[in-house]
Amino acid sequence: MIILAVLILALDQLTKSIVVRSLSPNDSAPVIKGIFHLTLIHNRGAAFGILQNHVFLFALTACFAIVLILINLKKIRFEKRFSLQKLSLGLIMAGAAGNLIDRLRLGFVIDFLDFRIWPVFNIADSAITIGAILLCWAFFREPKTLK
């Protein structure tokens, strides 16, 4: 799962770098007009832009989450080769690390995926969301393996 997390982290940082070089803040480029755009946003808050300008709080929370995930992954590394729990934790860790890098380096998170009916987000946000959904699914599917 560490390899998956590193790949997702690399994809997140690469896509953010490409968008930053291609667009100015708040600029938008349609990919599918009216449906999907690339829109560069500097998000200084949490999900949906709430709690603006709390960089230290978000950085501390991300560090805490990453440490907890690494501890949990270490505990379950000798269990079966693949598990939904490992996958979900790897996704959440990659997403938390991707947004943490932005916050520490820039003071904000780079968001750019704009479906026009949802707030603008990024690859890291997607990994966190998918990981959280899978973790909930794993909890209901394999409740005795989650501790």
Alpha-carbon torsion (117, 123, 124, 126), positive or negative? positive
Contact 146, 76 (CB under 8 A): no
Is 12 among the catalytic positions? Answer: no
The residue from 12, 102, 111, 114 that is catalytic is 111
Contact 57, 100 (CB under 8 A): no
Is 125 among the catalytic positions? Answer: yes
The residue from 12, 102, 114, 125 that is catalytic is 125
The alpha carbon of residue 96 and the mean position of all alpha carbons in its chain are separated, in whole angstroms, by 5
Q: Which residue has the tokens 């969301």?
A: 129
DSSP code at position 121: B
120, amino acid identity: V
The residues annotated with a catalytic role in the active site are 111, 125
